Amino acid sequence: MKQLVVATRNNGKILEINALLAGLVDQICCAADFVDFPETIEDGVTFEENALKKAREAAVYTGLPALADDSGLTVAALKGSPGVFSARYAGVDAGDAANNSRLLRECLDVPDELRQAAFVCVLAFVTPEGDEMLFTGSIGGKILSAARGEGGFGYDPLFLVDGYDRSMAELTLAEKNSISHRAQAFEKFRLFLCSDMS
């Protein structure tokens, strides 16, 4: 693929995507590369709706194939919350500390055996011609009663990864990138690109 626009202004995410898609895409652009790139209002009730909305708007605005993701944490005992509101669980301008504090409060009376959770990532790929594909990754775990670890971001310190005795924030970056919900979704997208190019 010659060009791909990613519907994000996050330079860190672009660097990560460049590495993940090395050799498959000649040039990866982002929202910051275009004048007046529209800010998508993420008003969907699912990760799929938000990811598709961002990718559709980017494809229409740029005339290029577009990729967008929406991801977050779902907690079974909280009926799937924070879900699509993961980044703003404690309020629109809340940061990681406030979001984590709210999650701990919400789970205070939830017994250990009912703290199942999952990180979910949905990637939406949309072409200017209107073709659309979704790629989903998820990783299971449970919510801890206190933060553990210094790495990662978001809810990582509160998420005990299934099959590990460590939180997501206690994993090395290499470990996290090999098992994360985002890594799984991107691996599916990579396989799609490889098969599409063969």
Active site residues: 70
Report how far residue 171's alpha carbon sits from residue 168's, in angstroms, rounded to the nearest whole number. 5
Write down the H helix ranges in the chain. Answer: 11-20, 47-62, 96-106, 173-179, 181-197
How do strand 66-75 and strand 27-30 relate by DSSP bridges? unpaired
Who contacts 193 (Cβ-Cβ below 8 Å, separation ≥6)?
Answer: 1, 21, 24, 25
Report how far residue 64's alpha carbon sits from residue 129's, in angstroms, rounded to the nearest whole number. 9
Report how far residue 163's alpha carbon sits from residue 195's, in angstroms, rounded to the nearest whole number. 31
Who contacts 56 (Cβ-Cβ below 8 Å, separation ≥6)?
Answer: 66, 124, 126, 132
What H or E segment, with its residue span, contains residue 120? Answer: strand 116-126
Number of Cα atoms under 13 Å in the Cβ half of residue 123: 21
Report how far residue 21's alpha carbon sits from residue 33's, in angstroms, rounded to the nearest whole number. 19
